Structure 1
């Protein structure tokens, strides 16, 4: 079974921690369904555009959108068909996630067959691994400028066993114990290293990483797109994948190299992408938020939340416990809150025993404050 080799370093750990922070931010923000749908569609469009752009697709973002909207399947320009294929592949992944389809060789072959549909005729159910090339023909990844081989993958005869070993690792306990970003990064790297198909390996590897992240909840509600960051620095992307290793697979890549340089880059790109999604989600949330909530100071926001989670009434002692202050301090703060109409006395006259939420704020919900309803 394939056994990747790497060690965590400070940069990898830092990025993983940031990824978790931004992931939690997005998950906790309540957004209207139409806004979520808009963000998912935009992310899917960007993933389609940028993942195909990495492989040389010339269409711009608007042209990609138009090609998808045409929905003519295998008609039109090759570039249009290519982006529709990737869009369909992402739809396939979404359905597979809902159905909890495990990753297998057949799954990867099916994914590739959707990505690589060409011309008219019946759509094949699964792709086949590449076979031997003609005598005198070298199967390699070539530099688009120099024309020289950048990477010479393993021989076709070795591909079936390498893929079997690779998929066994994906489904192993060792792989499942890894953080999802690390597992996805390793999977993308190794599929590209094996290069099991004649074409479409890059798109398939990125799509596979997307699936691994999504089934573990790292798709940020479907808002995430990492590919645009690869496009912004394509040379850096390819350099990190190469890791200064020999061109020929059998000269060092067959004995798993240290993947830390690639994983460091992969999780850094994730961190940047997640940070952007969190910022967009926060901005969308603020645009939808009740203007009354925007006027609340941090302490006032906490008091309103307490009242919404305590059946509408709360004692000065309970508020004091939340802020770790004495009850007398809450009595003083409460005067201002009452003046603003945020709270009202619920019981007691000269000495208030409990407070309730003010009439002007009584229709607020936890979602209005930015909390999920399960906090109740």
Structure 2
């Protein structure tokens, strides 16, 4: 813990004290899940599907917390050169464009572990050491060209702001004068890069950076987005997969609890347990989601091989093989009925010229081989868990 006396705002506390048994239990779960995911094989084609989805949901989530109106699908459209026409403002679209650029730097950061980068947003992260120039660069990237009152990209605030509201635990007033802001940012950098914090579990250190940067609130606008990107940068530089982007969406989906975690921690003064607990629950949920998703992709890959083998051995017909292939190619996993098999695309390509009895016989064979399941409403789906039992 580090206490700093400011010029005008009184004592500011950089705190790493928390309820060890309570937080350690969550850390063990997070670390175990992270290790499990790290050991799972990922095909390049899976990454090419997953990575853009995480980028767009992360950008939409972190922007929505600050009031932006674009959802993840519209973020994708904007990135693809389309202009979403649902009444979004030019400001909303530019916020998204700036954030896409910032998050893409995280991927470049992961690809260049040396920490040396040659582009406008220069990430000075070497062995997870955070630099003040990195923070200013992030803020410039995020707020460049945006018409925020008083805000100058990359420049610290000199004046009063109020954060929060009564509905989420009360209003907090960060340090007001630039002398305090500048001093606290220097102290923040020294503290977060100290030996004790460098040795701390990366999930804890990244959350502490997020929380304390938000308390200082050094810029007029964009502080929340910078805080979440700082956290993501520290996680990414430590080799954590998926979570750096997923956390922003978790915060958005639990935005009331997010604000309350800040308020409860501020009230606790020298105990950061509330924010760490909320944060780690987000880490765990994100890791569990990805573990399940990757496991399903692996099972689908195994099932493809199994279906190919059955077809080669004449255990299933070519039409049955093609139906299963259609289902494996459809990532939605939407159930279908016997009627849809003969009346709806893409199934009609296979079943429009055969009788209902033939279609029933195909389904019966695939059910008996545990390749499909059927529910009480006679809707059929792939059986990714039972086919190999």
Q: Same fold (TM over 0.5)?
A: yes
Distance verdict in 2 for CA 1:144–1:94, change over 3 Å: farther
Relative contact order (alpha carbons < 8 A, sep ≥ 6): 1 or 2 greater? 1
| CA distance in structure 1 between the aligned counterparts of 2:142 and 2:16, rounded to whole angstroms | 30
- Partner of 2:250 in structure 1? 229
TM-score (norm: length of structure 2): 0.64
| CA distance in structure 2 between the aligned counterparts of 1:111 and 1:174, rounded to whole angstroms | 25
- Of structures 1 and 2, the larger Rg is shown by 1
Distance verdict in 2 for CA 1:125–1:18, change over 3 Å: same
> Which of 293, 296, 300 lines up with 1:283 in the alignment?
296
Residue 160 in 1 paired to residue 175 in 2? no
Distance verdict in 2 for CA 1:177–1:71, change over 3 Å: farther
Kindly provide the CA deviation profile for residues 131-162 of structure 1, in whole angstroms up to 9, marking residues without a partner as x: 23xxxxx421253979x971100122201110
- Unaligned runs of at least 5 residues, structure 2: 4-13, 116-123, 308-389
- Partner of 1:41 in structure 2? 52
SS in 2 for 1:150: strand
- Check whether the contact 1:89–1:114 (CA below 8 A) recurs between aligned residues: yes
- Partner of 2:200 in structure 1? 178
| CA distance in structure 2 between the aligned counterparts of 1:159 and 1:224, rounded to whole angstroms | 28
Residue 270 in 1 paired to residue 270 in 2? no
State the 1:293 CA deviation: 7.6
Superposed, 1:131-280 pairs within 5 Å as: 131-132=158-159, 138-143=160-165, 150-156=171-177, 157-220=179-242, 224-243=245-264, 245=266, 257-280=270-293
- Partner of 1:306 in structure 2? none
SS in 1 for 2:76: helix
RMSD over aligned CA atoms reads 3.0
State the 1:186 CA deviation: 0.3
- Check whether the contact 1:110–1:125 (CA below 8 A) recurs between aligned residues: no
TM-score (norm: length of structure 1): 0.66
| CA distance in structure 2 between the aligned counterparts of 1:243 and 1:215, rounded to whole angstroms | 29
Kindly provide the CA deviation profile for residues 343-371 of structure 1, in whole angstroms up to 9, marking residues without a partner as x: xxxxxxxxxxxxxxxxxxxxxxxxxxxxx
Residue 95 in 1 paired to residue 99 in 2? no
| CA distance in structure 2 between the aligned counterparts of 1:71 and 1:168, rounded to whole angstroms | 43
- Partner of 1:105 in structure 2? 132
State the 1:10 CA deviation: 3.2
Residue 51 in 1 paired to residue 62 in 2? yes
Distance verdict in 2 for CA 1:224–1:159, change over 3 Å: closer
Kindly provide the CA deviation profile for residues 90-136 of structure 1, in whole angstroms up to 9, marking residues without a partner as x: 1123323424132211110001111111259xxx996011123xxxx
SS in 2 for 1:226: helix
| CA distance in structure 1 between the aligned counterparts of 2:33 and 2:97, rounded to whole angstroms | 30
Kindly provide the CA deviation profile for residues 268-297 of structure 1, in whole angstroms up to 9, marking residues without a partner as x: 111111110111111112112365689xxx
Runs (4+) of structure 1 moved beyond 4 Å? 290-294
- Partner of 1:5 in structure 2? 16
Residue 128 in 1 paired to residue 143 in 2? no
SS in 1 for 2:36: helix
| CA distance in structure 1 between the aligned counterparts of 2:49 and 2:40, rounded to whole angstroms | 15
- Partner of 1:78 in structure 2? 91
- Check whether the contact 1:224–1:273 (CA below 8 A) recurs between aligned residues: no
Kindly provide the CA deviation profile for residues 64-94 of structure 1, in whole angstroms up to 9, marking residues without a partner as x: 211222289xx97111111111111111233
- Check whether the contact 2:56–2:73 (CA below 8 A) recurs between aligned residues: no
- Partner of 1:298 in structure 2? none
| CA distance in structure 2 between the aligned counterparts of 1:38 and 1:291, rounded to whole angstroms | 18
SS in 1 for 2:100: helix
